[in-house]
A and B are shown apart, each in its own frame.
Chain A
Amino acid sequence: MKDSTVKDIGVALLILAVLIPFATGVGNIYEDPSDPGFGSRDFPKLIIFIGIFLSVILLIRSSIDIVRSGQLPKLAISSHYQITGPLTVLIAALLYVWGIVLFQYALPTLALMFFLVRYFGSRGFFRTILIPLIAVIIYFLVFFVIFGIFEEPGTILNYDSYSVARAIRKVIGME
């Protein structure tokens, strides 16, 4: 069984997973029956039809390859990191986004930086503590002080970062 067959099945399934919600939602698009030419639903229908059609063709072709080879498809994974690596980073990212809602920017950013530098193999006080701390301060200076972004209050920890940023802006003569 060729590796490309497994990937083709994956491509077809991914496209179907994305396009099926679109296919079910196309009927909800408002269409004026008196509209001339291509109506509001026609273009989305065309794209969805081509996508589903090509995916089905790909699935059929891959199924024929499977039957011919007599082997079931198997994912070629060279190391467990191929799954656990991105998954760990993804979970960290989602926790970070949630953390910002709960605690605002500073603490979750420091925690994420600390976790990631360690996860990516850095060790020692300078790389795992000092660099994340410096990075958080630089992000704050660039985005909050210079660009003046405003953050929503956290649901657990609530502090006024905007006033802190404004005070720094005044000190450095930006206001």
Chain B
Amino acid sequence: MGIIDGFSALFSSWEPITFAILGTIIGLLGGAVPGLSSGAMIALLIPATYYLHPLAALALIYTVSKASDFGGSIPAILFNTPGTPQASATQIEGFPLTRQGKQGKALRMAVIASAQGDICSELLLIFGASAIAVYASKLGPPEFVGIYFCAFIVIGGLLGKSVVAGILSVIMGLALSLIGTDPITADDRFTFGIDHLIEGIELVPVLLGVFVLVEVFIQAADRKFASKDAPIAGKQKLPTDNYVTLSEYKRVLPTMLRSTGIGVAIGMLPGLGSVVACYVAYSEAKRKSKTPETWGNGEIEGIAAAEASNNATSGANLIPLLTLGIPGSTAAALLSGVMLIHGITIGPNVFTTSHDIIYGVFAAGLLCILTYFIIGYWGSHYVGLIISSIPAMMVYPIIFVTCYVAVYATRQAIFDMVVMTVFGVLGYIMKRLNMSLPAFVIAFILGPGFERAVRQSFLLDESGGGIFLQRPIALLFFILGILAIGIRLLKSYREART
């Protein structure tokens, strides 16, 4: 059984298990630091993964992304400041509970719902992804062209605030992925006379530039680091204010399960993500509630809905990556970057070519849930105290300098520092123009695979593109992509008219 092999691989040496637990702690603390996104945190750790065993590297990145989903809820509940965007729905019900002196109950509800949603999602990933991958491994280049097309359209159209800006973000990512060598003929192209570009643009400087430097530039522009909200906790009145009672748990269980389903379904779709999931689940739970008038004043059911759904996306959004090779979220894109760095080919064959590593990552995911549950249940308040003692004005200089030292460490090339700076500036301009940075990075990573699939399809076909119409799965994905963009454009048109 795969997951047993995974646990064997995880416990085979000290390195993978240590980095899985370390990743959980980093994710928990980093997720709880307002303003530091999980994407930035993961990108910052990528250079260190060069020096690790592939399983340890992937376990570190995966557990950081998982734990940060829960970590973000701690400052949302305690300080009315979500640590991550996906914790903003938790804040609506969590902070009023803190003001009533029930922060212990709110934090424990958050960790119970997070762990429950996360486990369901992880089990689906463990037992469902390999089954889908068996089927996906039989697909040929034309089907993959259809899948890439659909993914680019959906990711470009949905991840950004504007459809055209999102699609153009994808085009920009694809264009920059052309730099280097032709994937079929291996001839140089678009190197503009710079020898360093012959092997293409390195992934690490791009990720650090786009996900970390951009955040520092934004902080320097917005100057929000000087303000700090003081925690305003009320006084605890009853012992039950500090934990979730059995009757409360039974009352919120159906909501948690429903929200987990919403999170899993949304998480599997490329381009959507935990922010969408938590708001959909929160709204749905409020709509179904018998007492919707109490919502907004500290309803634990709201915390359960938001947290179960946002954590339920974390395992599910790896399904498109591991079955089709399509990273559907920022965390999946960064994970795919680490896989590429370690020579692990992303896509359906990963379950056979890197069986132990992939199941080892799943095992690390389960260990991560257990670890953050233990820390979160008994120690969230202390995490809150640590976070409140870290001044934001110190965080950004440190991560900025770390970026430069870390990017140099990957190849010992000053050129990579320059590339990272260029991508930081480009990313900042793109962000200010409402373009989608995750869509840009996903297209940059998938660009060579997309080009290879397109050119191989044309080699199989002598009718000049007719092969895409003759293959039903390819055609289905083309139609899905066109439908997705059509629906989004129609929605935008209606919004503009009203």
Closest 4 A/B residue pairs (Cβ) = A37-B458, A116-B397, A85-B220, A86-B217
Contact A51 B393 (CB under 8 A): no
Interface positions of A from 25 to 77, Cβ below 8 Å from B: 25, 28-30, 32, 36-38, 40, 43-44, 47-48, 50-51, 54-55, 57-58
Nearest A residue (CB) for B451: A43
Contact A90 B217 (CB under 8 A): yes
Contact B184 A116 (CB under 8 A): no
Q: Mark A129-157, 1 if CB is under 8 A from B, else 0.
A: 00100010001000100010111100000
A-B contacts, 15 listed (Cβ < 8 Å): A11-B164, A12-B168, A54-B164, A57-B164, A86-B428, A89-B400, A93-B400, A93-B404, A112-B404, A113-B397, A120-B219, A121-B225, A122-B397, A147-B51, A147-B409
Q: Which interface class (under 10, 10 to 19, 20 to 34, 35 or more) fits A?
A: 35 or more
Interface of A is mostly: helix
B51, B162, B167, B455: the one within 8 Å of A43 (CB): B455
Contact B185 A40 (CB under 8 A): yes
Contact A38 B454 (CB under 8 A): yes
Contact B397 A81 (CB under 8 A): no
Q: Mark B392-415, 1 if CB is under 8 A from A, else 0.
A: 011011101110111011001010
**Complex: A14 Cα to B220 Cα, angstroms:** 22
Q: B182 contacts the other chain (Cβ, under 8 Å)?
A: yes
A38 to chain B minimum Cβ distance, whole angstroms, is 4
**Complex: A29 Cα to B397 Cα, angstroms:** 42
Known: A44-B175, A120-B220. 14 other contacts (CB 8 A): A10-B432, A15-B168, A19-B171, A19-B175, A21-B192, A29-B182, A43-B178, A54-B164, A54-B168, A79-B223, A89-B217, A93-B400, A109-B401, A122-B393
**Complex: A8 Cα to B165 Cα, angstroms:** 7
Given the contacts A43-B455, A54-B164, A122 and B430 also touching, CB distance less than 8 Å: no
Contact B455 A11 (CB under 8 A): no
B164, B171, B458: the one within 8 Å of A8 (CB): B164
A147 to chain B: which residues have CB within 8 Å? Answer: 48, 51, 409
Interface positions of B from 330 to 362, Cβ below 8 Å from A: none
Nearest B residue (CB) for A12: B168
**Complex: A83 Cα to B223 Cα, angstroms:** 12
**Complex: A10 Cα to B169 Cα, angstroms:** 13
Given the contacts A18-B175, A121-B393, A86 and B220 also touching, CB distance less than 8 Å: yes
Nearest B residue (CB) for A61: B164
A73 to chain B minimum Cβ distance, whole angstroms, is 13
A10, A48, A85, A139: the one within 8 Å of B221 (CB): A85
B223 to chain A: which residues have CB within 8 Å? Answer: 79, 81, 85
Q: A117 contacts the other chain (Cβ, under 8 Å)?
A: yes
A10, A40, A101, A135: the one within 8 Å of B189 (CB): A40
B405 to chain A: which residues have CB within 8 Å? Answer: 105, 109, 139, 143
Q: How many A-B Cβ pairs are below 8 Å?
A: 193
B178 to chain A: which residues have CB within 8 Å? Answer: 22, 43-44, 47
Contact B165 A143 (CB under 8 A): no
Contact A97 B417 (CB under 8 A): yes
**Complex: A97 Cα to B48 Cα, angstroms:** 20
Interface positions of B from 3 to 53, Cβ below 8 Å from A: 48, 51
Q: A7 contacts the other chain (Cβ, under 8 Å)?
A: yes
B243 to chain A: which residues have CB within 8 Å? Answer: none
Contact B184 A44 (CB under 8 A): no
A40, A90, A121: the one within 8 Å of B182 (CB): A40
Contact A47 B175 (CB under 8 A): yes
Q: A165 contacts the other chain (Cβ, under 8 Å)?
A: no
Q: B479 contacts the other chain (Cβ, under 8 Å)?
A: no
Contact A120 B168 (CB under 8 A): no
A158 to chain B minimum Cβ distance, whole angstroms, is 15
Contact B172 A18 (CB under 8 A): yes
Contact B397 A38 (CB under 8 A): no
A117 to chain B: which residues have CB within 8 Å? Answer: 393-394, 397
Interface positions of B from 361 to 420, Cβ below 8 Å from A: 391, 393-394, 396-398, 400-402, 404-406, 408-409, 412, 414, 417-418
Contact B433 A135 (CB under 8 A): no
Q: B435 contacts the other chain (Cβ, under 8 Å)?
A: yes
A131 to chain B: which residues have CB within 8 Å? Answer: 394
Interface positions of B from 418 to 445, Cβ below 8 Å from A: 418, 421, 424-425, 428-430, 432-435
Contact B189 A50 (CB under 8 A): no
Which residue, of A14, A113, A131, has the highest number of chain B Cβ atoms within 10 A? Answer: A14
**Complex: A142 Cα to B180 Cα, angstroms:** 32
**Complex: A29 Cα to B417 Cα, angstroms:** 28
A25, A50, A97: the one within 8 Å of B192 (CB): A25
B430 to chain A: which residues have CB within 8 Å? Answer: 14
Q: B1 contacts the other chain (Cβ, under 8 Å)?
A: no
Contact A51 B175 (CB under 8 A): yes
Q: Mark B225-237, 1 if CB is under 8 A from A, else 0.
A: 1100000000000
**Complex: A57 Cα to B172 Cα, angstroms:** 16
**Complex: A151 Cα to B414 Cα, angstroms:** 10
Given the contacts A109-B401, A120-B396, A151-B412, A37 and B459 also touching, CB distance less than 8 Å: yes
Q: B195 contacts the other chain (Cβ, under 8 Å)?
A: no
